[in-house]
Amino acid sequence: MGLNKNKGLATLIGDIDEVYSKELGLDKNKTIQIPVEKIKVNPFQPRKYFDKEALNELANSIKQYGLIQPIIVLKQENHYILVAGERRLRAYKILGYENILALVSDVKEEKLRELALIENIQRENLNPIELANSYKDLIEIHKITQENLASLVNKSRTQITNTLRLLNLDPSTQNLIIEGKISQGHAKILVGLNKKDEKMIASSIIGQQLSVHDTEKIVKKIKNQENANLENNTEFENELKELIKSLNNKGFRCEKNKKNLIIHLKNIDIIKKLRQMIEKIS
């Protein structure tokens, strides 16, 4: 059962409890205990990073107060696939509990990806990279624009765009964002730099504890230098083209190879002519 682009997506982005009851046909009063070992994580889960300290805190809370909210799974032959509640499931594994309280649905697996994306965005517990991947997937799945998505998730178009641009960063930089070592404010400044400069500044942010303002100043200097180099390079290229044109008009056969000028000396007369020209210059 597929969703109808914006309309279907708008429905999913409503209250998350209504999402589960409507989309999965669940009755929240009908929960069962299922073996933890028979649960497989959702392969489309956008969330990849789980803070160990936070998981241990959750495990302690569950041990003291019990599981307040059941996980949600899909029934598939002799196992279950997790739809919502991976942190709770991981906490149960830390505690060594064999069974966990769950709501079970038999809806088709095609719902897994979109429900995992919406569940995480709705609860706002993704890091910036996971959120960027979620936005990217929603845009691709539902064939909508960034502007449409911005409206549906109540974010500005600029926020959506800036978040998506983080996916252009080097994987090593993305990992630093995931681990919380670099903030999203720092990260968006790094977008657009060459990989060497990006990695260098990322290391400096951590090593020198640079503020966002300090990072902006360094990146601005780098970009100004790049623009100056580009202007100088353009002037060089133009002069070289003019030289080749002039030499070709004088009977030489010349060509450019990167920053090298190649003159083809096809006979003795051309060699003599070139020597005479050089002697005049000197």
Report DSSP letters for 229-281, one per residue: HHHHHHHHHHHHHHHHHHHHHTT-EEEEETTEEEEE--SHHHHHHHHHHHHHH
Active site residue 86: yes
Token pair belonging to 256: 């450019």
> Do residues 132 and 117 make contact, with C-beta atoms less than 8 angstroms apart?
no
> Do residues 270 and 252 make contact, with C-beta atoms less than 8 angstroms apart?
yes
∠ Cα 126 23 155 (to 5°): 40
Specify which residues 221 forms β-bridges with. Answer: none
> Do residues 254 and 247 make contact, with C-beta atoms less than 8 angstroms apart?
yes
Give the Cβ contact number of residue 25 at 10 Å: 10
**Which residue of the set 18, 37, 86, 109 is catalytic?**
86
Q: Report how far Cα 42 is from the mean position of its chain's Cα atoms.
A: 20
* Residue whose C-alpha is closest to residue 39's, from 95, 132, 101: 101
Burial label, 182 (beta-carbon count in 10 A; 0-12, 13-18, 19+): buried
- What's the Cα-to-Cα distance from 235 to each of 173, 248, 263, rounded to whole Å? 35, 20, 21
Q: Report how far Cα 198 is from the mean position of its chain's Cα atoms.
A: 15
Active-site amino acid positions: 86
